[in-house]
Chain A
Amino acid sequence: MEKGSTSKKLILAIALSIGGFLIALLGNMLVPQIADVSFDEYIVGIFMLTGKDAYDILLIALIIVYLITGIRGLRRAERRKKYVFAAPFRFACGIALFLWDLLGTKLQILQQPFFPGPAGIMTAFVQEGPFIWQNTLYSLRLYLFGFLIGTAVGVFTGTLIGWFSKADYWVSPVLKVAGVIPSVAWMPFALTIFPTAFSGAVFLIVISVWFQVTTLTASGVKSTPRTLLEAARTLGANNRWLVFHIALPNALPNIFTGIMTANAFAFTILVMAEMMGQPGGLGYYINASKVWSAYYKVFAAIIVMAILFSLITKLQGCIEKRVLRWQKGVLK
């Protein structure tokens, strides 16, 4: 009885999950197109595809993925629960795609070329997928350089300020004033002083990340409980050991908070810098596409950004969870 109802629930969830996308797929295939949108064929690998075909393929892929994960959910209760929980949302996604397709591509309701339908956006990927990928990698590289250098420098200066009261006295006021300046304000200098556009943009990201991470590292180091420092000293620790094995681990939760806030700044600066003067990157791609009124490409870049930045945030969340597993409440 119990078992029957759970499997019924799962079947309903599978139907919901793939149903929405199925409707979107049928909509794309069967509804006649009124809008004045034409799709050219492009060579992708060994196939000739239009954006409309690519959209079909995407929907079919989604249907297959959710069908398989749904069936796999039969085995494990926890997976099943998650799947059932997300099913209505997936249905809504499918319906949203269907409506968007109707409004953007099939009927002439959304104004073209500003609001292309899903097939229109897929055209960008079919047309110049490798170029988008190349720009994505450029953005990723810029982000990684800026973020990693900024975090490293931030942890270093934050530790100095938090540990040495002299450093606190001399550096903190400067940091307080310099840190609140939006780092975009340095853009004119960054783009002229630095030898390459890339290093200029790295500099901008570095300073925005650096300020956040420094402030939070410093407060984390400062808040190290005296008992822990004293305990370590009675165990034979020297000052160096206290910094690296007591103060810094104690500051870790703070450092992660700093990194999370810094990320939001980093993403903003990244896109801005790319729009202002980079030879590549998603921001550059948006700017270059806008000039040709290729709004479907702008949307394509926005979607790539959404995926890229969520993945980065997600990855950081996983690392944080793993590193801070000693914290109360994190571990079951």
Chain B
Amino acid sequence: MSEQILRIEHVDRIYTDDETEVEALSDVSLTVKKGELVSIIGASGCGKTTLLRMIAGLDRPQKGKLYLHDREITKPDPKRGYVFQQGGLFPWLTVEQNIGAGLKARHVWNENKDRIPEYISMTGLNGFEKAFPHQISGGMAQRVAIARALINDPEILLLDEPMGALDSFTRAALQDKIVEIRLQTGTTMVLVTHDVDEAIYLSDRIVVMTPRPGRVSEIIEVPMSYPRQRNSGDFGKIRKKLLEKFHLASEQKLPEYMI
């Protein structure tokens, strides 16, 4: 059995909005193993992004704790790379400067700057080194964001719906890129998505969450090897299972209409 890298223990998160309290997360526990790719899937408002932000250290739980390698997560750290849904690139820096931003911020630029070309070619950005973010496409921007996180050698890469704002062709291409990067680097990843096929296509395990309050309802294993065929029988079976769970999970919030 491989080593546990991330441990989430009984996490609660309540947002207070004027007088109403919204329970974004309620008693969420989860572990992620080294090298694993875990997807968190659920309807909007189920707290999946909140959970990811907590792993990143951008948000704190009211109750419960999160650990990376037995060290409690209290603030952001380059060991936990984060890719935003969109708009995370620094518009005044070129592609290669964006990728090198973490090296500069951590003051390790001189000893690491030679690695930038490696990450440029890993993410297929050759020829766009000197381009500014507004000159490249959405898919490329996300690849820059991934390269920018990976150059810090993160122990875990957190992806917050990185393909959410992309068209379907670009999305498929980026999904393949993520698989490729994963096979190449072995980086542990946690992916937040609302796309069932994307979750099956990419992950080892899929965490289904229910909204209001956000809870883990089910964890589904995907015992398939890469490359996965979206039209294969196994894929279809998991999709069917997932959709059923997902369907049930979504309906739990409206019991009064189910009589």
> Do A and B interact?
yes
Mark contacts of A225-255 with chain B using CB atoms, 8 A cut-off: 1 yes-contact digit, 0 otherwise: 1011011111111100100011001101000
Chain B residue numbers with a CB within 8 Å of A241 are 104-105
**A327–B133 Cα gap in the complex (Å)?**
9
Mark contacts of B71-107 with chain A using CB atoms, 8 A cut-off: 1 yes-contact digit, 0 otherwise: 0000111101110100111111110000001101110
Contact of B152 among A227, A235, A238, A246 (CB under 8 A): A235
Residue A331, interface by CB 8 Å = yes
Task: Take A234-B78, A237-B105, A331-B132 as given contacts and tell me if A228 and B88 are in contact as well, using a CB distance cutoff of 8 Å.
Answer: yes
Task: Take A235-B149, A235-B152, A246-B90 as given contacts and tell me if A230 and B101 are in contact as well, using a CB distance cutoff of 8 Å.
Answer: no
How many A residues touch B, CB cutoff 8 Å?
23
* Closest residue of B by beta carbon distance from A228: B90
Residue A326, interface by CB 8 Å = yes
How near does chain A come to B112, taking the closest CB pair, in angstroms?
A: 12
* Closest residue of B by beta carbon distance from A252: B92
Task: Take A228-B88, A327-B91 as given contacts and tell me if A233 and B132 are in contact as well, using a CB distance cutoff of 8 Å.
Answer: no
Task: Take A252-B92, A328-B134, A331-B132 as given contacts and tell me if A231 and B77 are in contact as well, using a CB distance cutoff of 8 Å.
Answer: no
Determine whether the beta carbon of B92 is less than 8 Å from that of A326: yes
Determine whether the beta carbon of A235 is less than 8 Å from that of B148: yes
* Closest residue of A by beta carbon distance from B135: A331
Contact of A234 among B58, B89, B93, B134 (CB under 8 A): B58
How near does chain A come to B102, taking the closest CB pair, in angstroms?
A: 4
* Closest residue of A by beta carbon distance from B151: A235
Determine whether the beta carbon of B87 is less than 8 Å from that of A233: no
Residue B56, interface by CB 8 Å = yes
How near does chain B come to A98, taking the closest CB pair, in angstroms?
A: 49
Task: Take A227-B87, A326-B92 as given contacts and tell me if A233 and B135 are in contact as well, using a CB distance cutoff of 8 Å.
Answer: no
Chain B residue numbers with a CB within 8 Å of A326 are 91-94, 132-134
Chain A residue numbers with a CB within 8 Å of B84 are 227, 230-231
How near does chain A come to B83, taking the closest CB pair, in angstroms?
A: 9
Interface of B is mostly: loop
**A305–B141 Cα gap in the complex (Å)?**
48
How near does chain A come to B110, taking the closest CB pair, in angstroms?
A: 15
Determine whether the beta carbon of A245 is less than 8 Å from that of B87: no
How near does chain A come to B162, taking the closest CB pair, in angstroms?
A: 13
Determine whether the beta carbon of A234 is less than 8 Å from that of B87: no
Task: Take A235-B101, A245-B104, A326-B91 as given contacts and tell me if A230 and B134 are in contact as well, using a CB distance cutoff of 8 Å.
Answer: no
Determine whether the beta carbon of B77 is less than 8 Å from that of A236: yes
**A9–B101 Cα gap in the complex (Å)?**
52
Task: Take A230-B58, A326-B132, A331-B135 as given contacts and tell me if A236 and B91 are in contact as well, using a CB distance cutoff of 8 Å.
Answer: no
* Closest residue of B by beta carbon distance from A246: B90
Task: Take A227-B88, A327-B91 as given contacts and tell me if A232 and B105 are in contact as well, using a CB distance cutoff of 8 Å.
Answer: yes
How near does chain B come to A223, taking the closest CB pair, in angstroms?
A: 13
Chain A residue numbers with a CB within 8 Å of B152 are 235-236
**A234–B76 Cα gap in the complex (Å)?**
5
In chain A, residues 275-332, which have Cβ atoms closer than 8 Å to a Cβ of chain B?
325-328, 331
In chain B, residues 136-182, which have Cβ atoms closer than 8 Å to a Cβ of chain A?
145, 148-149, 152
* Closest residue of A by beta carbon distance from B154: A234
**A331–B76 Cα gap in the complex (Å)?**
34
**A245–B152 Cα gap in the complex (Å)?**
18
Chain B residue numbers with a CB within 8 Å of A230 are 58, 76, 82, 84
How near does chain A come to B187, taking the closest CB pair, in angstroms?
A: 15
**A237–B75 Cα gap in the complex (Å)?**
11
How near does chain B come to A231, taking the closest CB pair, in angstroms?
A: 4
Mark contacts of A34-68 with chain B using CB atoms, 8 A cut-off: 1 yes-contact digit, 0 otherwise: 00000000000000000000000000000000000
Mark contacts of A81-124 with chain B using CB atoms, 8 A cut-off: 1 yes-contact digit, 0 otherwise: 00000000000000000000000000000000000000000000
Task: Take A234-B76, A236-B152, A241-B105 as given contacts and tell me if A249 and B81 are in contact as well, using a CB distance cutoff of 8 Å.
Answer: no
Chain A residue numbers with a CB within 8 Å of B93 are 326
Determine whether the beta carbon of A245 is less than 8 Å from that of B132: no
**A236–B58 Cα gap in the complex (Å)?**
12
In the complex, which of the residues B77, B91, B145 has the most CB atoms of chain A within 10 Å of its own CB atom?
B91
Determine whether the beta carbon of A234 is less than 8 Å from that of B81: yes
**A236–B94 Cα gap in the complex (Å)?**
19
Contacts A/B (CB < 8 Å), 15 sampled: A227-B87, A228-B87, A231-B90, A232-B101, A233-B76, A235-B149, A241-B104, A241-B105, A249-B90, A250-B92, A325-B132, A326-B92, A326-B93, A326-B94, A327-B91
- 4 new A-B pairs (CB below 8 Å) besides A235-B101, A326-B91, A328-B134? A231-B84, A235-B105, A235-B148, A326-B92
Q: Which 8 A-B pairs have the closest CB atoms?
A: A235-B102, A236-B78, A237-B105, A234-B82, A233-B76, A236-B106, A328-B134, A231-B88
